[in-house]
Amino acid sequence: MEKQFRSNAQKNQINKRKICNKTSFYCLSFILILALFTSLSATQAIAKSVIKVAFIGSDDPYVSVDGATAVVFKNLVETGTNNEIEVRLFPGGVLGQEREMMEMLKGGLIHVHLATAGSMGSFFPLYGVFDIPYLIPSYSVAYDVWDGWYGKKVDDLIFAKTGLRSLGFFAQSGFYHLTNNKKMIKNIKDMKGLKFRTMTLPSHIKIFEAMGASAIPISWAELYTSLQTGVIDGQHNPVGYIVQGKLQEVQKYMTLTGHMYAVGFFLVNDKWFQSLSPEFKNVVLDASRVAKTAARGMNSLVNADKKKGIPFLKKDMEIYKPTPAEIEEFAAATIPAMRKYITETLGQEGVDLLNDYVKAVEESKKKLSYAP
C-alpha cells in the first residue's frame, strides 16, 4: 500500500513536471514570438523610407523661400504617403556648402537639394547663361518662362550633363540687389574701387568687373564676418537672403538694381527617384509642384512684409531705387560683357541657350501684354 502510494505520488510529480514543462514551452514560445514581432516592428521602423532634403537657406518658411519650399514639400509627402515616407530637412548648410551638397546628391547621401547658383556653377557651367543681366523684367515673366518650354529644355539639359533630375525651377528669392558700407550707389560710376563679395561663379565675377568693382569670392558662411570686419565693402543678394543673413546689421546702403534674377532648381537623385513606386513618384512630383508655388507667394510676401522685407530693411539701411536712365547705364556695361563671357567660355552651346532664353522672354512679354 505504501509502495502504491509512493508510486502514485511519483506519477503525480512527474505529471506536474510535464505540465510545467509544457507550460514553460508555451510561455517560452510566446515570448519568442513576441520578441520576433517586436524585432520586426523595430526593423520596419528603422527601414521606414526617408527623404533627406538639404539647402543653404533657413528652414523658417516665413523668411526663407528655401524654407517655404522644403516645409510644404515635407508635409505633402508625409501626409500623401500616410507617413510611410519621412522627410528630414537639413537647412542652413548644416551638411556643408553648396558644392558639398551637390556631391552628396550625386552620391545618393541626400535625395533632394534646392540648388542655387552657388550649387550649380561647378556641376553645370551653362548655368552662367541665366545670369545675363536685365533680361527678366518681372516675376510674372520669370514664372511664365521657367514653367514653359524653356524650363523643360533646361531640365533635360541638366539631366544630360549631370545625371541629376530637375523637378523644375523654384523661386530662389528673386532679383539681386547691391548693398555696401561705403556710400550710396546711384549709378555705375559709384561702383569704382569697391570690393564686393560674390559666389565662386565666373559669371558673377565678370558682372562686377564690368561695373568697375572688385569681385572677391567668399562663402555664405563667412559673408557676415567679412562685411563686419571690412574684408569686403559690399555684396549682392535677393532681399530674402539679406534678411536671413541679417546683413542689414553690417551694411548701411542698399541699391535696388535688380541686375540679375535668381534661378534655382529642385534637384533629386535620379537613381533614388526611379526606385520609388509609381504611387510615391506621383506624391513626390505633386508635392514639389505645390511647394514651388507656395514658395513664390511667400517670396512676394517676404519682399513686401514690414517685418521681413524691404520696409523692414529701411529701418537700418538707406535704400535707393535707380532711375531708368541709371539702370540703363548698368545694363549697357554688363550685358555686352556677359555676352562676351558666354561666347568665349561656354561656346556655341551657351550662345544657343542664351538665344533661346531671350526668345522665351520675348514670347512671355508678348503673351502677358508687356508694352514694347
Q: What is the CATH number of the domain that holds 85?
A: 3.40.190.170
What local confidence, expressed as pLDDT, does residue 308 receive?
Answer: 73
Q: For residue 170, is pLDDT > 90?
A: no
- The helix (run of H) or strand (run of E) holding residue 315 is none
263: in domain:
yes
The domain containing residue 311 runs over which residues?
Answer: 49-179+257-367
Q: Band of the pLDDT at 299, cuts 50, 70, 90?
A: confident
For the segment 301-342, what is each residue's pLDDT rounded down to a tens digit? 777 766 778 889 999 999 999 999 999 999 999 999 999 999
Q: Does 240 or 350 have the greater pLDDT score?
A: 350
Q: How far apart are CA 18 and CA 285, in angstroms?
A: 62
Task: Report the residue count for the chain.
Answer: 372
321: in domain:
yes
First-to-last C-alpha distance (Å) of the chain = 124
Q: Are 245 and 164 in contact (CB under 8 A)?
A: no
For the segment 182-234, what is each residue's pLDDT rounded down to a tens digit? 999 999 999 999 999 998 889 999 999 999 999 999 988 899 999 999 999 99
204: in domain:
no
Mapped onto helix, strand or coil, the DSSP state of residue 58 is: coil
220, three cell numbers: 555664405
Q: DSSP letter string over 277-297? A: -HHHHHHHHHHHHHHHHHHHH
CA distances from 281 to 152, 272, 274, 276 (A): 18, 10, 8, 6
Half-sphere exposure of 265 (CA within 13 A, CB side): 26
148: in domain:
yes
276, three cell numbers: 520609388
341: in domain:
yes
Q: DSSP letter string over 168-215? A: EEEEEEEE-EEEESS----SGGGGTT-EEEE-S-HHHHHHHHHHT-EE
107: in domain:
yes
Q: Are 40 and 32 in contact (CB under 8 A)?
A: no
- Closest Cα partner for 321 from 257, 237, 259? 257
CA 20 to chain centre: 65
**Percent of residues, the chain, with pLDDT higher than 90:** 70
273: in domain:
yes
- Closest Cα partner for 130 from 264, 267, 288? 264
For the segment 223-242, what is each residue's pLDDT rounded down to a tens digit? 999 999 999 999 999 988 89
269, three cell numbers: 537623385
Among 5-19, 34-48, 253-267, 348-362, the minimum mean pLDDT is found in: 34-48
For the segment 96-117, what is each residue's pLDDT rounded down to a tens digit? 988 999 999 999 999 999 998 8
Taking every pair of Cα atoms in the chain, the longest distance, rounded to a whole number of angstroms, is 127
218: in domain:
no
Number of domains the chain contains: 1
Q: For residue 29, is pLDDT > 80?
A: no
